[in-house]
Amino acid sequence: MKSATSATSPTATSLQLGSPRLLALAQQLRLYKPPLCSPFDEESTRKLVSFQELMAPVRLTPKKAAVLICLFEGDDGDLRVILTKRSSTLSTHSGEVSLPGGKAEEHDKDDGVTATREAEEEIGLDPSLVDVVAFLEPFLSQHLLRVTPVVGILWDKKAFNPRPNPTEVEAVFDAPFEMFLKDENRRSEEIEWMGEKLLFHFFDYKTGDNDYVIWGLTSRILIRAATVVYQRPPAFIEQKPNLKYSKMNQATSLYG
């Protein structure tokens, strides 16, 4: 399996199959360093308070998880990202669109291993096909998971034959990556909660006979990732949440 340490230079496959544009992007992303301060870093999370004890701080150590932002070039040369629709039988976020990924296991060497291992389990994506090129800053999930987005490049799309695990995934599809910076097919809802205005982005995407809605934590991660990849801000107001730590534990349930 590939990790950050094994993805410091282009692989033989990338040199054979990658376009100049994709090779340049891979090199750009290998140089990316997440901000030193993240609003959802571990130190911030330790300061969260429980809903039952709002006035008494508790120390929390969030469990680690990782998701794979797997990019490849489409037939028209556009950059695309692999997404899944979660099984309708799952107990949480059933039927929602998500990125491949899941919780870290003790033997996982790094977040790259976690993300590619989970992608293989969920959709049959062989980790050897994925060139991990960057790690983004972590996000805090509804269930207090510290989720690290892992950016990987699929140099040979034809080598990937999706095999969704029916217990976890209902469908595998791909979408134009740049759509998460555009104001097209996007809607938002603003909710005022405990004196804070939170903005949620919903991206509508249709492929074939299927209609998908991408929102919540997945849309937040994809907006951030697209901002890093294309090196420009979205064409809409993102309005990142700016909540006090004493409110954050309750607020996480609003983020997907």
Lowest mean pLDDT among 58-67, 108-117, 214-223: 58-67
pLDDT, the chain, mean: 81
List the Cα angle 85/90/95 in 5-degree steps: 30
Both tokens of 119, joined, read 């992608």
Q: What percent of the chain has pLDDT over 90?
A: 60
Q: Is 50 exceeded by the pLDDT of residue 99?
A: yes
Query: pLDDT higher for 46 or 135?
Result: 135
Find which of 2-6, 8-12, 33-37, 204-208 is predicted with most confidence, using mean pLDDT.
204-208
- Which stretch of DSSP H or E encloses residue 71? strand 63-73
Round to whole Å and give the CA distance between 163 and 18. 24
SS3 of residue 243 by DSSP: coil
Lowest mean pLDDT among 38-42, 45-49, 243-247: 243-247
For the residues 17-39, what does the mean pLDDT come to?
Answer: 86
Round to whole Å and give the CA distance between 121 and 94. 18
Number of neighbouring beta carbons within 10 Å of residue 190: 10
Cα separations (Å) of 178 from 54, 78, 81, 181, 183?
Answer: 40, 9, 9, 6, 10
SS3 of residue 247 by DSSP: helix
Indicate the angle between helix axes 20-30 and 216-230, nearest 10 degrees. 100
Lowest mean pLDDT among 117-126, 135-144, 185-194, 204-213: 185-194
What are 138-183's pLDDT values in tens digits?
A: 998 877 789 999 999 999 999 999 999 999 899 999 999 999 999 9
What pLDDT was estimated at residue 2? 41
What pLDDT was estimated at residue 252? 34
What pLDDT was estimated at residue 89? 74
pTM of the model: 0.81
Name the band, by pLDDT with cuts 50, 70 and 90, for residue 214. Answer: very high
Name the band, by pLDDT with cuts 50, 70 and 90, for residue 253. Answer: very low
What pLDDT was estimated at residue 9? 41
- Which stretch of DSSP H or E encloses residue 119? helix 111-123
**Letter for the amino acid at 73?**
E
Q: Is 80 exceeded by the pLDDT of residue 57?
A: no
